[in-house]
Structures are given as C-alpha cells and as structure tokens.
Amino acid sequence: MMRISRTEIQTLLLPFFSLAAVLVPIFWINPNTMSYFGLGLLLSLAVPMILATLAQLCIITVNDLDLSIGAFVSLAACIAVTWLPQQPLLAIAALIACVIIYAAVGVLVEMFNLPSIVVTLGLSFVWSGWALVLMPTPGGVTPQWLQDVMNFAMPVIPTPIIYSLLIATLAHWYLMRSSRGVRLRGAGGSPKAILRSGGSVLKSKAIMYALAGLLGILSALTLVGLTTSADANIAQRYTLVSIAAVILGGGNFVGGRVSPIGAVLGAMTLGIAASFLSFLSIAPKWQVGLQGAILIVVLSLRALLARRGA
C-alpha cells in the first residue's frame, strides 16, 4: 500500500488553507458575505472560471501549457450569443469544429515535438481574430435555457457551490479514479510506461486537448448564461488565471501531477478574491495584483514544505 508523506499531505491541504485564508478576512470585514446571498455573489462567476481551469489542467496533465484558453472561451461565448439562439445547428457544428481543431493541435505538438507555449500562443490569435470577425462589438443574446440553468436557485446552499462540488467530483473521478483517467495522466507522468503497455501518447494528448476544448466550451456557455451577452475579449484573463489556479491547487508543470479538486479550490480562491475587491470598488489592476500575491505566497509555502520534507 502506497504511503503518503507528511509533506505531500500538507501540500494537498494547501488549497483548502488558501481558500480559508481568503474567506476569513472577507467574513471579518463584511459579515453579510457569510449569508446565502453573500456567498452567491462572491461565487457568481466561479463556475466558468472553474471549467476554464480544468481545461488548462487537461493540458498541464500532459506536460504542455495552453496560452489560448482565454481567447477560446471568448470565441465560444461569441458563437453562443450569435448563432446558438437562431441557428443552433450551425453553432453546434462550429463548436464541434473548434474541439476537433484543439485535438489536432495536440497531435501536432506531439508528432513534431513542438513547444506548446508557442503553438497555443499563435492559436490564441486565431481564436481572437475569429471572435472579432464574428462579433466586432459587444452584444448578442443568450438562450433563455442557459440563463435558467445558471440562475437556478438551489435551497439552503448557493447554486455556484453546488455546481462547483459536482464539477470537482466528476473531474476527480474521471482523471484520478477511472482507468481511462490513469492512462491519460500517464502520458504526462510516465510516457515510456504508456508505450511499453501498448498505449499511445499521441492518442492520449489528442484526447486531453479535445477535453480541454470541450471544457472551454462549457466555460463559455456558463459564462454567457450569467452575463447574458458577450464580446471578443470577455474571457481573456482566464488564460493566466487558469494557470495560476492549477498551480495554486497543487499541480506541477511536468510529471502529470495534478489535482482536480485542488484546481477547483484554486479557481474559487482567485475568483472570490477578485469578486470581493470588485464589491469594494477596487480597481481591476489591484485585483490582478492580489491574485498574483496569493499565488506567490502559496508557491513559497509549497517550496518551504518540500525543503523541510527533503
């Protein structure tokens, strides 16, 4: 039976401590945020951010990095508010094509040993250009069913928390517990073992990139369900936030070592921090600064724990 070291346990618990460290001062400054309504406001935009973070997690799992997820979510959001209400078949076809392109990018990165950072950076310009062509000015109409799903009021516990728990549970089960998830993670953690067992690293990367595209689309749909409109830059900040949330949640850039639950907690931590500063009418540049400070502190703690455990 595999034993988990004390340092590993402490590292796994860091995302919980980070979330608590953000929530406690917020509750102290404004006790009303502890209410059903207050928590709902704090986490109002958490679900889209969580889904974008899990999309990034899929790419990081196979030792790559996606610098296009924010632009991709923006494009999918533009498709959702322009074509989905009036031409749903065209919208679905376009979104499926985007997922296929994502999978193809994963294949190219693996086949030709291309740096994913450069490839996805170039891809971000493609997504942004298409979004601007489709929607040069903000606007659009969100389908009513999307608004109903995202604004549905759960009893007792705010809806964003319920949705976040469901997403975290499903992601953890698929990537960490299912046999398919273990094989997919092996493409990043032990590609040679995958090859020796008759598996295909190329196929695993294509699947993980496709999953990232699918999660990016879900992020866009939930986002426009909340905002009821879109523009070509609506989710640009998701790129850096998603990377930060994965690392904040205990993930590593190499080795296939990720934590879906930790990534969800990381996204919630960064989202809550930004939401609270918005309520206080703090400028967006300070919101980004606080998110960066949280990441630096947590990474420093991880490094300290690793050094003590060495």
Q: Please state the three-class secondary structure of the chain as a single string.
A: CCCCCHHHHHHHHHHHHHHHHHHHHHHHHCHHHHCHHHHHHHCCCHHHHHHHHHHHHHHHHCCCCCCCHHHHHHHHHHHHHHCCCCCHHHHHHHHHHHHHHHHHHHHHHHHCCCCHHHHHHHHHHHHHHHHHHHCCCCECCCCHHHHHHHCCCCCCCCHHHHHHHHHHHHHHHHHHHCHHHHHHHHHHHCHHHHHHCCCCHHHHHHHHHHHHHHHHHHHHHHHHHHHCCECCCCCCCHHHHHHHHHHHCCCCCCCCCCCHHHHHHHHHHHHHHHHHHHHCCCCHHHHHHHHHHHHHHHHHHHHHHHHHHC
Annotation: CATH topology of 6-309 = ABC transporter involved in vitamin B12 uptake, BtuC (1.10.3470)
Instruction: Output the pLDDT for position 1.
Output: 41
Instruction: Output the pLDDT for position 162.
Output: 95
Instruction: Output the pLDDT for position 161.
Output: 94
The model's pLDDT over 52-73, given as tens digits with 9 standing for 90+, comes to: 999 999 999 999 999 999 999 9
Low-confidence ranges of the chain (pLDDT < 70): 1-11, 276-288, 290-291, 295, 302, 305-306, 308-310
Q: Where are the domains of the chain?
A: 6-309
The model's pLDDT over 131-144, given as tens digits with 9 standing for 90+, comes to: 999 999 999 999 99
Instruction: Output the pLDDT for position 272.
Output: 85
Instruction: Output the pLDDT for position 159.
Output: 94
Instruction: Output the pLDDT for position 2.
Output: 42
